[in-house]
Amino acid sequence: MLDVVDAGADAVVWRGSAQAQLAGSGEPLTRRARIQEAVRRILERFPPP
């Protein structure tokens, strides 16, 4: 989950999420790549229309 917060208002103005299986993904580099891909997918939807 990734939140974008308006610091002045102390409010979440946008929230994105993605799911990925990390358990049993073995190598730390493999887990890192899966996390990076999930973050990339989240940010494809930012900014909102």
Q: What is the pLDDT along the chain (49 residues), one digit of tens a residue?
A: 999 999 999 999 999 999 877 777 678 888 888 889 999 999 999 998 7
**Residue 28: inside a domain, yes or no?**
yes
**Residue 19: inside a domain, yes or no?**
yes
| Matching residue, tokens 């494809």 | 44
- pTM higher than the cut 0.85: no
Domain count, the chain: 1
Q: Are 45 and 1 in contact (CB under 8 A)?
A: no
**Residue 25: inside a domain, yes or no?**
yes
Q: Are 16 and 42 in contact (CB under 8 A)?
A: yes
Report the chain's C-alpha Rg in angstroms.
14
Quote the domain boundaries for residue 20. 2-44
**Residue 49: inside a domain, yes or no?**
no
Q: Give just the sign of the alpha carbon dihedral 18, 40, 28, 31.
A: positive
